[in-house]
Amino acid sequence: MRAVQVTRFGGPEVLVTAQLPDPVAGPGEVVVGVEAADVILFEARIREGLAQDFMPVRPPYVPGGAVAGRVLSVGEGVEPGWIGRSVAVHVGDRGGYAERALAPAAALIPVPDGLGPREAAALLHDGTTALGLADAARTQPGEWVLVTGAGGGLGILMVQLALAAGERVVAAARGQQKLDLLRELGAHAVVDYSLPGWEERVRGATGGAGPDMVYDGVGGELGLAAFELTARGGQFSAHGAAAGGFAPVDPEEARRREVTVRGIEQVQFAPDVARRLLKRALSEAVAGRIRPVIGQTFPLERAADAHRAMEARDVVGKTLLLP
Protein backbone atom coordinates (compact mmCIF):
# COMPACT_ATOMS: atom_id res chain seq x y z
CA MET A 1 0.00 0.00 0.00
CA ARG A 2 0.98 3.65 -0.34
CA ALA A 3 1.68 5.46 2.90
CA VAL A 4 3.45 8.56 4.11
CA GLN A 5 6.41 8.14 6.43
CA VAL A 6 8.31 10.58 8.58
CA THR A 7 11.85 9.50 7.70
CA ARG A 8 13.51 11.66 10.36
CA PHE A 9 12.52 14.53 12.60
CA GLY A 10 12.50 17.80 10.69
CA GLY A 11 10.55 20.05 8.34
CA PRO A 12 7.75 19.06 5.95
CA GLU A 13 10.31 17.62 3.52
CA VAL A 14 10.76 14.58 5.80
CA LEU A 15 7.24 13.42 4.84
CA VAL A 16 7.92 10.86 2.11
CA THR A 17 5.50 8.60 0.25
CA ALA A 18 6.53 4.94 0.36
CA GLN A 19 5.24 1.48 -0.49
CA LEU A 20 4.64 -0.48 2.71
CA PRO A 21 3.21 -3.95 3.33
CA ASP A 22 -0.58 -4.08 3.68
CA PRO A 23 -1.53 -4.19 7.38
CA VAL A 24 -3.02 -7.38 8.78
CA ALA A 25 -5.60 -7.18 11.55
CA GLY A 26 -4.56 -8.85 14.79
CA PRO A 27 -6.87 -9.87 17.64
CA GLY A 28 -9.29 -7.06 18.42
CA GLU A 29 -8.25 -5.05 15.38
CA VAL A 30 -9.64 -4.14 11.97
CA VAL A 31 -8.15 -2.85 8.74
CA VAL A 32 -9.81 0.30 7.41
CA GLY A 33 -9.64 1.35 3.79
CA VAL A 34 -8.88 5.02 4.33
CA GLU A 35 -11.04 7.47 2.39
CA ALA A 36 -10.00 10.57 4.34
CA ALA A 37 -7.31 11.19 6.96
CA ASP A 38 -7.49 14.06 9.42
CA VAL A 39 -4.52 16.46 9.50
CA ILE A 40 -3.88 18.56 12.61
CA LEU A 41 -1.15 21.04 13.45
CA PHE A 42 0.06 18.98 16.40
CA GLU A 43 1.16 16.30 13.94
CA ALA A 44 3.60 18.84 12.52
CA ARG A 45 4.98 19.42 16.01
CA ILE A 46 5.51 15.67 16.43
CA ARG A 47 7.17 15.55 13.00
CA GLU A 48 9.58 18.29 14.09
CA GLY A 49 10.58 16.23 17.13
CA LEU A 50 9.09 18.74 19.57
CA ALA A 51 6.93 16.17 21.38
CA GLN A 52 9.50 13.51 22.19
CA ASP A 53 9.11 13.97 25.94
CA PHE A 54 5.53 12.70 25.89
CA MET A 55 5.02 11.00 22.50
CA PRO A 56 6.68 7.61 21.99
CA VAL A 57 6.89 7.67 18.17
CA ARG A 58 10.33 7.72 16.55
CA PRO A 59 11.19 7.80 12.82
CA PRO A 60 10.49 6.11 10.59
CA TYR A 61 6.77 6.16 11.36
CA VAL A 62 3.46 6.77 9.60
CA PRO A 63 1.84 9.92 11.02
CA GLY A 64 -1.86 10.62 11.44
CA GLY A 65 -4.11 9.57 14.27
CA ALA A 66 -7.65 9.61 12.84
CA VAL A 67 -9.30 8.34 9.66
CA ALA A 68 -12.65 7.64 8.06
CA GLY A 69 -13.34 4.88 5.56
CA ARG A 70 -14.70 1.35 5.24
CA VAL A 71 -13.71 -1.73 7.19
CA LEU A 72 -11.91 -4.15 4.87
CA SER A 73 -11.10 -6.99 7.25
CA VAL A 74 -11.33 -7.93 10.92
CA GLY A 75 -9.07 -9.82 13.28
CA GLU A 76 -9.80 -12.56 15.77
CA GLY A 77 -12.58 -11.74 18.19
CA VAL A 78 -14.09 -8.96 16.08
CA GLU A 79 -17.66 -9.18 14.80
CA PRO A 80 -17.52 -9.91 11.01
CA GLY A 81 -20.51 -7.62 10.52
CA TRP A 82 -18.15 -4.65 10.64
CA ILE A 83 -16.77 -5.57 7.20
CA GLY A 84 -17.96 -3.05 4.61
CA ARG A 85 -19.28 -0.55 7.14
CA SER A 86 -18.40 3.13 6.95
CA VAL A 87 -16.58 4.16 10.12
CA ALA A 88 -14.66 6.95 11.78
CA VAL A 89 -11.89 5.95 14.15
CA HIS A 90 -8.90 7.13 16.13
CA VAL A 91 -6.04 4.83 15.17
CA GLY A 92 -3.56 6.02 17.80
CA ASP A 93 0.08 5.60 16.86
CA ARG A 94 -0.71 2.99 14.18
CA GLY A 95 -0.73 5.78 11.57
CA GLY A 96 -3.44 7.18 9.33
CA TYR A 97 -1.61 8.82 6.40
CA ALA A 98 -2.02 5.68 4.31
CA GLU A 99 -4.32 3.81 1.97
CA ARG A 100 -5.06 1.31 4.74
CA ALA A 101 -4.89 1.70 8.50
CA LEU A 102 -5.00 -0.65 11.46
CA ALA A 103 -7.48 0.36 14.12
CA PRO A 104 -8.75 -1.05 17.41
CA ALA A 105 -12.23 -2.48 16.90
CA ALA A 106 -13.33 -1.03 20.23
CA ALA A 107 -12.72 2.49 18.89
CA LEU A 108 -14.89 2.17 15.76
CA ILE A 109 -17.73 4.66 15.39
CA PRO A 110 -20.25 3.99 12.59
CA VAL A 111 -20.73 6.95 10.25
CA PRO A 112 -24.47 7.68 10.14
CA ASP A 113 -26.44 7.87 6.92
CA GLY A 114 -26.37 11.34 5.44
CA LEU A 115 -22.73 11.98 6.30
CA GLY A 116 -19.77 11.30 4.03
CA PRO A 117 -16.30 10.08 5.01
CA ARG A 118 -14.74 13.51 4.49
CA GLU A 119 -17.17 15.18 6.87
CA ALA A 120 -16.71 12.37 9.39
CA ALA A 121 -12.92 12.70 9.22
CA ALA A 122 -13.20 16.45 9.70
CA LEU A 123 -15.09 15.89 12.96
CA LEU A 124 -12.83 13.21 14.46
CA HIS A 125 -10.65 15.64 16.39
CA ASP A 126 -12.41 18.97 16.04
CA GLY A 127 -15.98 17.83 16.64
CA THR A 128 -15.00 15.93 19.76
CA THR A 129 -12.98 18.87 21.08
CA ALA A 130 -15.63 21.46 20.25
CA LEU A 131 -18.38 19.63 22.11
CA GLY A 132 -16.10 19.01 25.09
CA LEU A 133 -15.21 22.70 25.29
CA ALA A 134 -18.83 23.80 25.00
CA ASP A 135 -19.94 21.31 27.65
CA ALA A 136 -17.29 22.55 30.07
CA ALA A 137 -18.21 26.21 29.56
CA ARG A 138 -21.94 25.96 30.21
CA THR A 139 -22.49 29.42 28.77
CA GLN A 140 -25.92 31.09 28.67
CA PRO A 141 -27.98 32.47 25.78
CA GLY A 142 -27.24 36.12 25.17
CA GLU A 143 -23.70 36.03 26.57
CA TRP A 144 -20.84 37.39 24.47
CA VAL A 145 -18.37 34.76 23.27
CA LEU A 146 -14.97 35.47 21.69
CA VAL A 147 -13.44 32.73 19.54
CA THR A 148 -9.79 33.17 18.50
CA GLY A 149 -8.50 31.06 15.64
CA ALA A 150 -12.10 31.17 14.48
CA GLY A 151 -11.22 30.45 10.85
CA GLY A 152 -9.76 27.01 11.57
CA GLY A 153 -11.57 23.69 11.71
CA LEU A 154 -12.14 23.80 15.48
CA GLY A 155 -12.83 27.53 15.60
CA ILE A 156 -15.57 27.29 12.98
CA LEU A 157 -17.33 24.60 14.99
CA MET A 158 -17.05 26.69 18.17
CA VAL A 159 -18.69 29.61 16.35
CA GLN A 160 -21.49 27.36 15.10
CA LEU A 161 -22.12 25.82 18.53
CA ALA A 162 -22.19 29.22 20.24
CA LEU A 163 -24.65 30.60 17.69
CA ALA A 164 -26.86 27.51 18.00
CA ALA A 165 -26.92 28.07 21.78
CA GLY A 166 -28.17 31.63 21.33
CA GLU A 167 -24.90 33.31 22.29
CA ARG A 168 -23.51 36.46 20.67
CA VAL A 169 -20.25 35.72 18.88
CA VAL A 170 -17.16 37.75 18.10
CA ALA A 171 -15.09 35.66 15.68
CA ALA A 172 -11.39 36.60 15.54
CA ALA A 173 -9.16 35.33 12.73
CA ARG A 174 -6.45 36.42 10.29
CA GLY A 175 -7.21 37.51 6.73
CA GLN A 176 -10.22 38.61 4.71
CA GLN A 177 -11.11 35.16 3.38
CA LYS A 178 -11.63 33.81 6.89
CA LEU A 179 -13.53 36.90 8.02
CA ASP A 180 -15.89 36.65 5.05
CA LEU A 181 -16.61 33.01 5.86
CA LEU A 182 -17.27 33.80 9.52
CA ARG A 183 -19.73 36.54 8.52
CA GLU A 184 -21.52 34.04 6.30
CA LEU A 185 -21.76 31.64 9.25
CA GLY A 186 -23.58 34.32 11.24
CA ALA A 187 -20.99 35.75 13.65
CA HIS A 188 -22.26 38.99 15.17
CA ALA A 189 -18.84 40.63 14.76
CA VAL A 190 -15.60 39.63 13.06
CA VAL A 191 -12.15 40.94 13.92
CA ASP A 192 -8.77 40.53 12.20
CA TYR A 193 -6.24 40.09 15.01
CA SER A 194 -3.32 40.64 12.65
CA LEU A 195 -4.27 44.33 12.56
CA PRO A 196 -3.44 46.89 15.26
CA GLY A 197 -6.28 47.79 17.61
CA TRP A 198 -8.17 44.50 17.30
CA GLU A 199 -8.66 44.40 21.05
CA GLU A 200 -10.57 47.68 21.02
CA ARG A 201 -12.82 46.37 18.26
CA VAL A 202 -13.67 43.37 20.45
CA ARG A 203 -14.43 45.68 23.40
CA GLY A 204 -16.58 47.85 21.17
CA ALA A 205 -18.55 44.89 19.85
CA THR A 206 -19.29 43.72 23.40
CA GLY A 207 -20.41 47.13 24.63
CA GLY A 208 -17.17 47.79 26.49
CA ALA A 209 -17.48 44.97 29.02
CA GLY A 210 -15.56 42.35 27.08
CA PRO A 211 -16.64 38.79 26.28
CA ASP A 212 -18.17 36.60 28.97
CA MET A 213 -16.47 33.54 27.47
CA VAL A 214 -13.24 33.29 25.48
CA TYR A 215 -12.33 30.16 23.52
CA ASP A 216 -8.65 30.73 22.78
CA GLY A 217 -7.46 28.50 19.98
CA VAL A 218 -4.24 30.46 19.35
CA GLY A 219 -2.30 30.87 22.61
CA GLY A 220 0.88 32.84 23.07
CA GLU A 221 0.79 36.61 23.38
CA LEU A 222 -2.36 36.84 21.30
CA GLY A 223 -4.07 34.47 23.70
CA LEU A 224 -2.88 36.59 26.61
CA ALA A 225 -4.40 39.67 24.98
CA ALA A 226 -7.67 37.76 24.63
CA PHE A 227 -7.52 36.86 28.33
CA GLU A 228 -7.11 40.52 29.21
CA LEU A 229 -10.31 41.25 27.28
CA THR A 230 -12.35 38.74 29.29
CA ALA A 231 -15.13 40.32 31.31
CA ARG A 232 -14.85 40.28 35.09
CA GLY A 233 -16.36 37.04 36.36
CA GLY A 234 -16.08 35.48 32.90
CA GLN A 235 -14.48 32.31 31.59
CA PHE A 236 -11.30 31.73 29.60
CA SER A 237 -10.47 28.49 27.81
CA ALA A 238 -6.71 28.23 27.17
CA HIS A 239 -6.83 25.13 24.96
CA GLY A 240 -4.95 26.43 21.90
CA ALA A 241 -1.22 26.64 21.28
CA ALA A 242 -1.01 27.37 17.54
CA ALA A 243 1.26 30.32 18.31
CA GLY A 244 3.81 27.97 19.88
CA GLY A 245 2.51 27.78 23.45
CA PHE A 246 -0.58 28.26 25.57
CA ALA A 247 -1.60 31.73 26.71
CA PRO A 248 0.65 32.64 29.69
CA VAL A 249 -2.19 33.60 32.03
CA ASP A 250 -1.23 34.86 35.49
CA PRO A 251 -3.30 32.81 37.98
CA GLU A 252 -3.28 35.67 40.49
CA GLU A 253 -4.67 38.09 37.89
CA ALA A 254 -7.37 35.55 37.01
CA ARG A 255 -8.33 35.27 40.70
CA ARG A 256 -8.37 39.04 41.11
CA ARG A 257 -10.78 39.43 38.21
CA GLU A 258 -12.74 36.29 39.15
CA VAL A 259 -12.09 34.76 35.73
CA THR A 260 -12.41 30.97 35.57
CA VAL A 261 -9.50 29.59 33.54
CA ARG A 262 -9.48 26.11 32.06
CA GLY A 263 -6.57 24.59 30.14
CA ILE A 264 -5.77 21.70 27.83
CA GLU A 265 -6.80 19.19 30.50
CA GLN A 266 -10.46 19.81 29.63
CA VAL A 267 -10.02 18.17 26.22
CA GLN A 268 -7.82 15.26 27.30
CA PHE A 269 -10.68 12.80 27.19
CA ALA A 270 -10.81 9.21 28.39
CA PRO A 271 -11.44 6.87 25.43
CA ASP A 272 -15.08 6.21 26.34
CA VAL A 273 -15.77 9.94 26.69
CA ALA A 274 -14.08 10.67 23.35
CA ARG A 275 -16.22 8.03 21.61
CA ARG A 276 -19.40 9.44 23.14
CA LEU A 277 -18.50 12.97 22.04
CA LEU A 278 -17.65 11.82 18.52
CA LYS A 279 -21.01 10.08 18.21
CA ARG A 280 -22.69 13.31 19.28
CA ALA A 281 -20.65 15.35 16.81
CA LEU A 282 -21.63 13.09 13.93
CA SER A 283 -25.29 13.26 14.97
CA GLU A 284 -25.13 17.05 15.27
CA ALA A 285 -23.72 17.23 11.75
CA VAL A 286 -26.46 15.00 10.33
CA ALA A 287 -29.03 17.22 12.04
CA GLY A 288 -27.40 20.30 10.51
CA ARG A 289 -26.54 22.01 13.79
CA ILE A 290 -22.83 21.95 12.97
CA ARG A 291 -21.12 21.75 9.60
CA PRO A 292 -17.41 21.16 9.21
CA VAL A 293 -15.86 23.42 6.59
CA ILE A 294 -13.28 21.46 4.60
CA GLY A 295 -11.18 24.20 3.12
CA GLN A 296 -8.50 22.12 1.39
CA THR A 297 -7.65 18.53 0.59
CA PHE A 298 -4.39 16.97 -0.55
CA PRO A 299 -3.46 13.56 -1.99
CA LEU A 300 -1.08 11.42 0.05
CA GLU A 301 1.83 12.43 -2.17
CA ARG A 302 1.35 16.04 -1.09
CA ALA A 303 1.30 15.49 2.66
CA ALA A 304 4.33 17.78 2.92
CA ASP A 305 2.35 20.55 1.19
CA ALA A 306 -0.52 20.03 3.64
CA HIS A 307 1.86 20.51 6.56
CA ARG A 308 3.46 23.56 4.93
CA ALA A 309 0.09 25.18 4.38
CA MET A 310 -1.00 24.60 7.96
CA GLU A 311 2.25 25.87 9.42
CA ALA A 312 2.02 28.99 7.27
CA ARG A 313 -1.57 29.54 8.51
CA ASP A 314 -2.53 29.47 4.83
CA VAL A 315 -5.60 27.28 5.36
CA VAL A 316 -9.29 27.86 6.00
CA GLY A 317 -11.30 25.35 7.98
CA LYS A 318 -10.27 21.72 7.95
CA THR A 319 -7.39 20.09 6.06
CA LEU A 320 -7.64 16.46 4.95
CA LEU A 321 -5.51 13.93 3.11
CA LEU A 322 -7.31 11.81 0.51
CA PRO A 323 -5.50 8.53 -0.32
3-state secondary structure of 164: helix
- Enumerate the domain spans of the chain: 2-110+293-322, 127-267
Question: What proportions of the chain, in percent to the nearest 5, are helix, strand and coil?
Answer: 35, 25, 35
User: What residues does 235 pair with on adjacent strands?
Assistant: 213, 260
Burial class from Cβ neighbours inside 10 Å (0-12, 13-18, 19+) for residue 90 reads buried
Domains 2-110+293-322 and 127-267 share a fold: no
Query: What pLDDT digit, counting tens, does each position of 270-285 carry?
Result: 999 999 999 999 999 9
pLDDT-derived band at 44 (thresholds 50, 70, 90) equals very high
Q: CA-to-CA distance for 102 and 79, rounded, in angstroms?
A: 16
pLDDT value of position 64 = 97
Buried-state track 229-258, b at ≥16 Cβ within 10 A, e below 16? bbbeebbbbbbbbbbeebbebeeeeeeebe
2-110+293-322 to CATH, choices 3.10.450.50, 3.40.50.620, 3.90.180.10, 3.40.50.300: 3.90.180.10
Query: What pLDDT digit, counting tens, does each position of 80-130 carry?
Result: 999 999 999 999 999 999 999 999 999 999 999 999 999 999 999 999 999
Q: Is the pLDDT of residue 56 over 90?
A: no
What pTM value is reported for the model?
0.96
Q: Under CATH, domain 127-267 is a member of which superfamily?
A: NAD(P)-binding Rossmann-like Domain (3.40.50.720)
Single out the residue of 243, 247, 248 nearest to residue 174, CA to CA.
243
Please provide the size of the chain in residues: 323
